[in-house]
């Protein structure tokens, strides 16, 4: 394990504070005591199929009931086999026959200060029209659709419209470059791309349509036949005749009647690309029935969401958190979900608190990196606003350091709101380890206990549980409804990455999360961060391989090694060690050029914070770059541990000398 990981273990071990759920919260909560949580957990453990089957029946609408809850042919699972369901129906239509018809489904706030509210009836209408527009462009059940959008209601509308007609969506974060977009469209063999002219981000306009044009230039993504463009930023864009269509034009022609397609439980709902330790990003595949149930139940119990709540998750829909906890989970519950286009920025550092006050937000879900940024900006910003509407806080994306937790609890939550620290992943679909806010006592920095039906453990590389409170690998030992089903077009990669990393014994497969963790004497989980070559920058997963490949694609670069360095605000920052082709020599200009190059290849989030030139990289005799050493050097620490496998020791001395 890395130096950084060891440091985390130590600092966390000293954490002894315990916070009971506030009694006022517990009294009104769905799950209001530890024993109720324990009962649910025990029930799910004793008979997972019965547990999930009962909930599926009570909580969701099915066109046709399943005949088997779980079919587990390790490592391939099918949930609710034979069932027919549509998640857009569960998120929209079923609320229309209740009083919720005219309740706000989405409250949207734009970065420049414009806003819109869509009731369930209005959202349903828009989704039906959007679905019909896609049909008009030839999209049928099973066709993949790329979505490259700013955070505007049409992003949610497009996703729900895809789900409605059974066209799997693949959302690509609007901050990704044209190159990254192209790779994902090609891998998913997308037939249609949905985008906008531009989107607002930090007071600039991101030219989304221009990026799409670049991705599609020279037949870059040959399966793409049409582009559907939503008007947002009003700037001039090129519209390719025959290929590009304005949404507001098509909207005039289509009907608002579009029945939801009864989907098989196991039909693909979406593909979402995420970074792995090696190679290209993986297309994580989620299917319909199990994902619907899992995001529904976790939203209901972990956010304790009620009809009177205004719920706000600050994620972008380009990430899994946006999929599960801005769109599907909240809307399936008939909740009011707030969506914000902007982020805190120098021109508006207090914007989050303005929004909490303006809409009376009750449940607020954000990331540790945001919390650390708020700490730096100072307490005066949240203190200047009325945050008394808040009743529950959540965090996700990376381990939260106990001091950031305490600040969040005190300054934002006024010491009255429980905090639910939710550990989960793109692959898990929904929360896996997280506190039930009315039931589980909180320890700052711990994601606490697993969700009912989740059998989590900490093991060594042979799959044996570690002793006592030692650190090890976080694994899941039983399938759960929200789990990924495969890696798109790559079942072998699914098998080897997730289920064979820890070798299965007697057909007992365990899911390898890629995270290190520790379990304390109360059974609480303490997540220690990634154990693979994944860097977590502000809660965004980036593979070191991807950034290295981007660097090496520049003509000046011979070889590159990328590592993470602990960063107070971002969690980790990116440090790249680069050797140059002989014709080139190090310069400030080249550093800027390389940073720009990575930004173009992957996106601004992958831009290295630091680039260091070196004559050679430290390697093992078998030629593997010793990232462990580079990590120590990057963070200015002494190189500890075994260096005997190093091929050329002088490389290390030169690097230390600040080559
Ligand atoms: C939901 C999401 C997953 C990785 C995961 C872990 C880290 C997420 C965390 C957390 C500690 C938490 N992570 N939540 N670490 N405590 N509450 O972030 O998905 O983008 O796939 O990232 O994020 O390292 O493995 P994804």
Tell me 636's DSSP state: T
pLDDT at 8: 41
Which of 140-144, 209-213, 478-482, 623-627 is least confident? 623-627
pLDDT at 9: 39
Domains of the chain (ranges; CATH) run 534-657 (3.30.300.30)
Categorize the per-residue pLDDT at 11 as very low, low, confident or very high, splitting at 50, 70 and 90.
very low
pTM for the full predicted model: 0.89
- In a mutational test of the pocket of ligand 1, which residue from 396, 446, 564 has the highest number of ligand atoms less than 8 Å from its CB? 396
With CA atoms as reference, report the closest residue to 618 among 598, 635, 597, 633.
633
pLDDT at 402: 86
Categorize the per-residue pLDDT at 12 as very low, low, confident or very high, splitting at 50, 70 and 90.
very low
In our burial notation (b when 16+ CB lie closer than 10 A, e otherwise), range 489-528 reads: ebeebbbebbbebbeeeeeebbbbbbbbbbbeeeebbbbb
pLDDT at 119: 98
Phi-psi sector, 166: left (phi>0), alpha (psi -120 to 50), beta = left
In our burial notation (b when 16+ CB lie closer than 10 A, e otherwise), range 236-245 reads: ebeeeeeebb
Q: pLDDT tens digit string along 472-510?
A: 999 999 999 999 999 999 999 999 999 999 999 888 999
Ligand 1 atom nearest residue 527's Cα: 11
On whether the CB atoms of residues 5 and 434 are closer than 8 A, the answer is no
- ipTM > 0.85 (yes/no): yes
Categorize the per-residue pLDDT at 446 as very low, low, confident or very high, splitting at 50, 70 and 90.
very high
pLDDT at 628: 79
Write down the H helix ranges in 112-206.
120-136, 153-165, 178-188
Ligand 1 atom nearest residue 529's Cα: 24
> Within the chain, what is the greatest distance between any pair of CA atoms?
74
CA dihedral sign, ordered 193, 498, 624, 517: positive
Phi first, then psi: give them for residue 643, nearest 5 degrees: -115, 15
Categorize the per-residue pLDDT at 277 as very low, low, confident or very high, splitting at 50, 70 and 90.
low
Pocket lined around ligand 1, Cβ cut-off 6 Å: 274, 319-321, 396-399, 421-426, 447, 513-515, 527, 529-530, 536, 539, 541
pLDDT at 428: 98
Torsion angle, CA of 386/387/388/390, rounded to 10 degrees? 160
On whether the CB atoms of residues 285 and 485 are closer than 8 A, the answer is yes
Among protein residues, the one whose CA lies closest to atom 17 of ligand 1? 423
Compute the distance from residue 397 Cα to the ligand 1 centre, in Å. Answer: 4
Q: pLDDT tens digit string along 460-476?
A: 989 999 999 888 999 99
pLDDT at 640: 63
Distance CA 240, CA 135 (A): 20
Which of 247-261, 373-387, 525-539 is least confident? 525-539
CA dihedral sign, ordered 60, 61, 67, 72: negative
Which of 165-179, 215-229, 450-464, 528-542 is least confident? 528-542
Q: Residue range 504-522: average pLDDT?
A: 93
Q: Which single residue is written with the structure tokens 């670069």?
A: 557
Structure-block tokens of residue 612: 């260091």
Annotated binding site for CoA: 201-204, 321, 538
Among protein residues, the one whose CA lies closest to atom 12 of ligand 1? 423
| Most confident option among 288-292, 368-372, 579-583, 633-637 | 288-292
pLDDT at 13 over 60: no
Phi first, then psi: give them for residue 154, nearest 5 degrees: -65, -20
Among protein residues, the one whose CA lies closest to atom 15 of ligand 1? 398
Phi first, then psi: give them for residue 281, nearest 5 degrees: -55, 150
Among protein residues, the one whose CA lies closest to atom 23 of ligand 1? 397
Which of 128-142, 176-190, 239-253, 643-657 is least confident? 643-657
pLDDT at 659 over 70: no
pLDDT at 39 over 70: yes
Q: pLDDT tens digit string along 356-397?
A: 999 999 999 999 888 988 988 889 999 999 999 999 999 999
- Provide long-range contacts, Cβ within 8 A and 24+ apart, for 52-58: 52/79, 52/293, 52/453, 52/481, 55/293, 55/297, 56/80, 56/83, 56/289, 56/293
pLDDT > 90: what percent of the chain? 78
DSSP sequence for 184-237: HHHHHT-SEEEEES-EEETTEEE-HHHHHHHHHGGGSSTT--EEEEE-SS----
Q: Mean pLDDT in the chain?
A: 92
Phi first, then psi: give them for residue 195, nearest 5 degrees: -145, -175
């Amino acid at each position: 394990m890395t130096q950084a990981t060891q440091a985390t273990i130590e600092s966390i071990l000293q954490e002894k504070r315990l916070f009971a759920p506030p009694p006022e919260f517990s009294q009104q909560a769905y799950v209001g005591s530890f024993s109720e949580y324990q009962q649910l957990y025990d029930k799910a453990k004793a008979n997972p199929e019965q547990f999930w089957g009962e909930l599926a029946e009570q909580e969701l609408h099915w066109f046709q009931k399943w005949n088997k809850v779980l079919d587990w042919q390790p490592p391939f699972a099918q949930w609710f086999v034979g069932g027919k369901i549509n998640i857009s129906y569960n998120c929209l239509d079923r609320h229309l026959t209740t009083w919720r018809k005219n309740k706000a489904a989405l409250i949207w706030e734009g970065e420049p200060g414009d806003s819109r509210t869509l009731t369930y009836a209005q959202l349903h209408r828009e989704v039906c029209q959007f679905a019909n527009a896609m049909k008009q462009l030839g999209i049928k059940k099973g066709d993949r659709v790329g979505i490259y959008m700013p955070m505007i209601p049409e992003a949610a509308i497009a996703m729900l419209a895809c789900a409605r007609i059974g066209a799997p969506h693949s959302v690509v974060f609007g901050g990704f470059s044209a190159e990254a977009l192209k790779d994902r469209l090609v891998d998913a063999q997308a037939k249609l791309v949905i985008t906008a002219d531009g989107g607002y981000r930090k007071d600039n306009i991101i030219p989304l349509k221009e990026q799409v044009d670049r991705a599609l230039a020279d037949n870059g993504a040959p399966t793409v036949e049409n582009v559907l463009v939503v008007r947002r930023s009003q700037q001039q864009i090129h519209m390719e005749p025959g290929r590009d269509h304005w949404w507001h034009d098509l909207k005039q022609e289509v009907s608002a009647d579009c029945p939801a397609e009864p989907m098989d439980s196991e039909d693909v709902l979406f593909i979402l690309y995420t970074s792995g330790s090696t190679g290209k990003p993986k297309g994580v595949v989620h299917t319909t029935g199990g994902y619907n149930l899992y995001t529904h139940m976790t939203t209901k119990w972990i956010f304790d969401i009620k009809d009177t709540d205004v719920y706000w998750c600050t994620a972008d829909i380009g990430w899994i958190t946006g999929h599960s906890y801005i769109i599907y989970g909240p809307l399936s519950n008939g909740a009011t979900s707030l969506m914000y286009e902007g982020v805190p920025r120098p021109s508006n550092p207090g914007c989050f608190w303005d929004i909490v006050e303006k809409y009376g937000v009750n449940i607020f879900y954000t990331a540790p990196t945001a919390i650390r940024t708020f700490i730096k900006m100072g307490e005066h910003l949240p203190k200047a606003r009325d945050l008394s509407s808040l009743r529950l806080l959540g965090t996700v994306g990376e381990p939260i350091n106990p001091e950031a937790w305490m600040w969040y609890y005190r300054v934002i939550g006024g010491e009255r709101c429980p905090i639910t620290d939710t550990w989960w992943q793109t692959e898990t679909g929904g929360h896996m380890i997280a506190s039930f806010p009315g039931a589980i006592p909180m320890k700052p920095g711990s994601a606490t206990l697993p969700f009912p039906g989740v059998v989590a453990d900490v093991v060594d590389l042979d799959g044996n549980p570690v002793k006592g409170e030692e650190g090890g690998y976080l694994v899941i030992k039983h399938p759960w409804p929200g789990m990924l089903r495969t890696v798109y077009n790559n079942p072998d990669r699914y098998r080897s990455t997730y289920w064979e990393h820890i070798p299965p014994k007697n057909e007992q497969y365990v899911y390898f999360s890629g995270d290190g963790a520790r379990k304390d004497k109360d059974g609480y989980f303490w997540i220690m961060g990634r154990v693979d070559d994944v860097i977590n920058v502000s809660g965004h997963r980036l593979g070191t391989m991807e950034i290295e490949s981007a660097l090496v694609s520049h003509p000046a670069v011979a070889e590159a090694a990328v590592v993470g360095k602990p960063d107070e605000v971002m969690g980790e920052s990116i440090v790249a060690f680069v050797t140059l082709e002989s014709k080139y020599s190090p310069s400030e200009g080249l550093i800027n050029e390389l940073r720009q190059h990575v930004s173009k290849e992957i996106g601004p989030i992958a831009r290295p914070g630091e680039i260091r030139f070196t004559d050679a990289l430290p390697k093992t005799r078998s030629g593997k770059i010793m990232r462990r050493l580079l990590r120590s050097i990057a963070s200015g620490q002494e190189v500890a541990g075994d260096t005997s496998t190093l091929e050329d020791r002088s490389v290390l001395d030169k690097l230390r000398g600040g080559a």
